[in-house]
Structures are given as structure tokens and as C-alpha cells.
Structure 1
Amino acid sequence: MTFLLFMLQEVPAAAERTSTAKLTLLDLAMKGGWVMIPIVLLSLVAAYIFIERYYVIRKASKEDTNFMNRIKDYIHDGKLEAALALCRSTDTPSARMVEKGISRLGRPLQDISTAIENVGKLEIAKLEKSFPTLATITGAEPMLGFLGTVIGMVRSFYAMSQAGNNIEVSLLSDGIYTALITTVAGLIVGILGYFAYNTLVVKVERVVFNLEATLTEFMDILNEPLKSGR
């Protein structure tokens, strides 16, 4: 009871001392201790992965609306070399799938379809490169923050135990807010990483949809001569 009364008496004085203090983000980061180092480094890695993958996936999702029409004309006219050249110059996941299909012409349709699907799977795997790393960072950052908080709390209570009867509220409050800095930092990076990861996943799903549509359209092109009796 005496300890609580002592703490209540110290609160106005502590508030008066801290009201004039101004903390910047750099100051807070420095007060977070060594745990802030991996948190900051991992956040930079996550940012790099997101930006790099975002532009790669964005490029892969761009499709030439006239591409399949030109492929259809080339195949119907028997200009397979021109069709292959068009695929190589287009340089997109869909174009590489179609290129594989054209190179397999003359084989059973099921074999052609399987070959195209395998190329599609490889293209998706390339787009999802570094996704596991980004997911790991997103999950690990909050835990690193909690670790920093626990370490900070242990240090605060150890300092209180060493202070004996000379305990001040500032000693406790400084230790607590310093310890919580790492939790805040870890949660911020984790939340942003979560949104970044799901943004990339949605974009990849759109690419998958485009690849499936390309496969269907290409197989229809191969079936058309059979339907028309050519």
C-alpha cells in the first residue's frame, strides 16, 4: 500500500519531466535495443522482396490482346516459324506456354496440353520466388518484437530490484515504454508484411487465371481445323 501511494505521488513529477521531452522515430528505435537491428534489417529485406516481385508479376500480367489472334492466323496458315518467333519476341508466361505448345504440334492433343501445363507451373513457380521468405519475415517480426519486450521487462524489474527502497516511477515507466518499442515495431512490420504478401498472392492468382485462359484458347485453336474439316 505504501509503495502504491509512493508511486501515485511520483506520477505528476514524472509527467512534468517527460512532457517537455520530444522523441523522434530514430530516438525510439535506438531505445529499442539490439532487437531493433534484426527487426529493421528484416523489414528492409521484406520491402525489397515486395517491390521486386510486384514489378515482376505486374510485367507478367500484361497481355497483348491481339497475341492469340495472330497465333491463330499463323497456325491456320501453316506459318509455325513465324508463330514461334512471335512467342519469343513477346516474352511473357503466356507466350512461353504457347511456344511450348507449338513446338509439340503433331503429337496427341493430350500430350500438348500436358506440356503446356508443365510450362505454366514453372512460370508460376518463378513468379512466387521469395514468397516463403516474405511469409517467414511477416510471421517472425512480431515474435522478435515480443522477445525484445520480454528482455526489456526483465531488465526493468532487475533494475528495480537493485534499486531497493529508492524505486522511482520513472525507473519503471522508462523501462516499460522502452521494452514496448520493439513490440510496436514488430507488429507494424508484421502487419505491413501481411498486406504485402496477400497483395502479391492476389496478383499471382490473376496471372494463373490468364494462363489457364491461354491454354484453353490455344487448345481450341488446335481443334478448329478438325471441326472445319481442314
Structure 2
Amino acid sequence: MSVVEIFQKGGATMLPLLFLSILALSVIIERVWFWTSVLLKEREIVNRVLDAARRDWGAAKEIAQQAHEQPIGRFLYNPLQLENADPEMFRLALETTADEELSSMRRGDKVLEAVIALSPLLGLLGTVIGLIISLGSIRLGDIGTASTAGVTAGIGEALISTAAGLIVAILSLIFYRLFQGLLFNQVKIFRKAGNDLELLYRQYWIDQRSKHP
């Protein structure tokens, strides 16, 4: 069967399933593009900022500001832009920015969750409707006769919507779990980068206090 025939035989719920699949696909493409950009650049940004912070905090701030379009760049820049901040304020700035950036990385998750939940239900609804239509055309006197031959084909067609719903849900779930794994990895990266930067700043703060008691 062609795609058009599948949609025709799948019933009325195929259109909502098509909408959900397009919605999920758009989110997946946007998230893949986002994560590809993040993963390719963040390690270099972290290393450059930390290396600069060991020598010159002004240079570290400038590097982080140049990477402001990246989540890790914004995360490192926010505390560095503070003037004469004490270590506790520096740490609070890191934690606040980390929460904001990690939360923004979850964009699209709710859409995928909705698609994963709704697609199988819509597919099942389409199958139930198809079965009602197919079985509703049978009369008791026709059972076992040639006139019921089309019912089997009708039931098979009714199952198309369930299969379509499961396919959409499974593919969405695969990418959803992938994005969740990437987000979990980002938590570790943010924590390590933040701890390293905070330790460097605390040492810098102690040195400055010892020079200017």
C-alpha cells in the first residue's frame, strides 16, 4: 500500500497522528541541532575559560562573554561579571545560572511527552472505531457465509492506526530518552566546571585578601 492508501484505510485518527508526528519531528530536529552545537563547543569553552582564569580573570571573563550564545558560556560568564564578589556570592551566581540553563535545555520535553502518551491512545481509538464499523455490518444470518469475507480485511485495516500510533510513540520515546541522557551528562559537566571555577576564584580571593588585609 502507498502512504496515501495507508492514511485512507487507517481511519479518522490518522490525521491527528500525522499532526503529532510532524510536531515530534520538528522538536527532534531542533533538539538534535541544539545538542550538536553544544557538544561540539562546550569542552573547548570550559578549558579556555579555566586556563585564562589561572592567569587573568579579565581574560576569562572576556572569553566567557564571547561564548555567550552557548549555555556553558552563559553559565561561566554570569559569576565572572560580578565586581568584587565574595566566594559565597560567586557560588550563588553559579548555582542560579546552572538552574536556569539546565531548565532551558529541557525545552521540547513536554511536547515529546505528550506525543508519547497520546499517539498509542489515538491509534487504539482508531482501531476501536474501525472494529465497530466492521463488526457493525455483520448480521447473525451472515456468519460463516461469503458476505463476511470483507470483515477480516476491515479488521486488518482497523489495526493500521494502532501500528501507526505505536511507531510514532516509540520513535519519539527513543529521542526523548536520548535527550534526557544528554541533559544528565550536562548536569555533571556544569557541576565540574562550576566547582573548578569556584576553587580558582576562592584561591584568588584569598590571595587578594592576603595582599590587601
Q: Which amino acid aligns with 1:189?
A: V
Task: Return the offset for 1:93.
Answer: 1.8
Task: Return the offset for 1:167.
Answer: 5.8
Higher mean alpha-carbon deviation, 168-177 vs 134-143, is at 168-177
Match of 1:151 among 121, 125, 129: 129
Match of 1:83 among 60, 80, 83: 60
Contact 1:131/1:197, CA 8 A, preserved across alignment = yes
Give the TM-score, by structure 2 length: 0.86
1:153-173 deviation per Cα after TM superposition (whole angstroms, max 9, x unaligned): 000111113985766242211
Residue aligning to 1:184: 163
* Aligned-pair Cα RMSD in Å: 2.1
Q: What is the CA–CA distance in structure 1 between the aligned matches of 2:207 and 2:6, rounded to whole Å?
A: 71
Q: Extract unaligned runs of 5+ from structure 1.
A: 1-22
Task: Return the offset for 1:48.
Answer: 0.9
SS in 2 for 1:124: helix
SS in 1 for 2:84: coil
Q: What is the CA–CA distance in structure 1 between the aligned matches of 2:93 and 2:141, rounded to whole Å?
A: 73
Task: Return the offset for 1:67.
Answer: 3.1
Q: Extract unaligned runs of 5+ from structure 2.
A: none
Matched positions, count: 203
Task: Return the offset for 1:223.
Answer: 2.0
Q: 1:150 to 1:221 in 2, by over 3 A?
A: same
Contact 1:60/1:207, CA 8 A, preserved across alignment = no
Task: Return the offset for 1:107.
Answer: 2.6
1:53-92 deviation per Cα after TM superposition (whole angstroms, max 9, x unaligned): 12212222332133321233222xxxx2x43322121232
1:94-146 deviation per Cα after TM superposition (whole angstroms, max 9, x unaligned): 22122111122423312211111111111111111121111110111001000
Q: Which has the larger radius of gyration?
A: 1
Residue aligning to 1:175: 154
Q: Does 2:90 align with 1:112? A: yes
Percentage of identical aligned residues = 23
Match of 2:184 among 175, 180, 205: 205
